[in-house]
Amino acid sequence: IYFFLLFQTRIGSTVILPCYFTPLKSFSHGGREIPLRIVRVLWCKNHQICHKTTPSVYDSNSTAREPRFHYLGNMEANCTLQIRDIRMEDKGTFRFRMEADNSAGHFTNQAGVRISVMKLKSSSKRSEVSRGQTVSLQCTTSTCTFTHLEVTWRKDGHALPGNGSALQLGPLTAKDSGNYSCALRGNMETQSEPFSLQVEEKEEEEEEGWFHIIEFNSNTAGVDRSNLTDYLVYYLGAGNQSVMVKREPSHKVKLSIYWSLFVPTLIHSHELWVMT
């Protein structure tokens, strides 16, 4: 039996395992040659012999067949298998077995063909990260790591520099947002599922020393209360004394201050804003 020993592929792709065999034509019994005829062919996964009650992905004697596995061969010389919509659980070693009308013609190729599924892993558990962070993307397979193979990287379909199994990104900016994928160089059939990276802008951080502090109480004049959203108020918890910090806050902070200083009160079906 002849076929490739290792296939690198990706989730969702279609893989064809080329396979060819030369069955035993006859066997000797009682001094005479008895012809043999192949009556059954099957493929199984992760089993050395593929016989008896071993679960199979394809069995010519069974009507219950997994639709993702399609036998492209015959009973004479071709044992090619097609696997559609590759999934992570398809990783493993597939073996072909033929059975004749006499056990003398039974045979399983124990070398088998191994399927490895490409996968892209991130050092960040979340696809949404903050600006300024550093993220490492690792191109791996379900069965081995890349130590001597060249890997190509892409972002939104465009090639990126570098050929190692890891891609370092950072400090991140909004321009780094996008869909990243990896593949073995020269073989786009092995391209991984894309990893979506979204770089979020940090909330503006207010720096101490950038503030102008004004102390006031309820009788303090000179404070434009019509524009109190331009101030952040810290209550000192002693009488009416407060500290107002003047700055240019973000819109989110402005809303927070606005709602903390005023509460709506309904009087005779009209809304009145009362300072707290």
Q: With respect to residue 62, please indicate whether it lies within any of the assigned structural domains.
A: yes
Do 25 and 101 fall within a single domain? yes
Number of domains in the chain: 3
Q: With respect to residue 205, please indicate whether it lies within any of the assigned structural domains.
A: no
Host domain of residue 24? 6-116
Selected residue with higher pLDDT from 222 and 237:
222
CATH number for the domain spanning 49: value is: 2.60.40.10
Cα distance between residue 186 and residue 165, in whole Å: 15
Do 224 and 196 fall within a single domain? no
Q: With respect to residue 1, please indicate whether it lies within any of the assigned structural domains.
A: no
The model's pLDDT over 179-196, given as tens digits with 9 standing for 90+, comes to: 998 887 776 767 787 889
The model's pLDDT over 34-63, given as tens digits with 9 standing for 90+, comes to: 999 999 999 999 998 888 778 899 999 998
Do 192 and 227 fall within a single domain? no
Q: With respect to residue 207, please indicate whether it lies within any of the assigned structural domains.
A: no
Q: With respect to residue 149, please indicate whether it lies within any of the assigned structural domains.
A: yes
Instruction: Quote the distance between the C-alpha of residue 118 and its chain's center.
Output: 10
Q: With respect to residue 217, please indicate whether it lies within any of the assigned structural domains.
A: yes
In this predicted structure, the answer to whether residue 132 has a pLDDT above a threshold of 50 is: yes
Do 99 and 173 fall within a single domain? no
The model's pLDDT over 193-206, given as tens digits with 9 standing for 90+, comes to: 788 999 987 654 44
Following DSSP, what letter does each residue of the chain receive, concatenated?
A: -B--SEEEEETT--EEE--B-----EEEETTEEEE--EEEEEEEES-SS--TT--EEEETT-S---TTEEE---SSSB--EEE-S--GGG-EEEEEEEEESSGGG-EE-SS-EEEEEEEEEESSSSSEEETT--EEEEEEESS---SSS-EEEEETTEEES--SSEEEE-S--GGG-EEEEEEETTBGGGPPPPEEEEEEPPPPPPPTTS-EEEEE-TT--S--GGGGGGEEEEE-SSTT-EEEEE----HHHHHHHHHHHEEEEEETTEEEEEE-
In this predicted structure, the answer to whether residue 226 has a pLDDT above a threshold of 80 is: no
Say what the pTM is: 0.54
Give the residue from 156, 179, 200 where a domain finishes. 200
Asked whether the beta carbons of 115 and 92 are under 8 A apart, the reply is yes
Do 188 and 221 fall within a single domain? no
pLDDT of residue 220: 41
Do 109 and 143 fall within a single domain? no
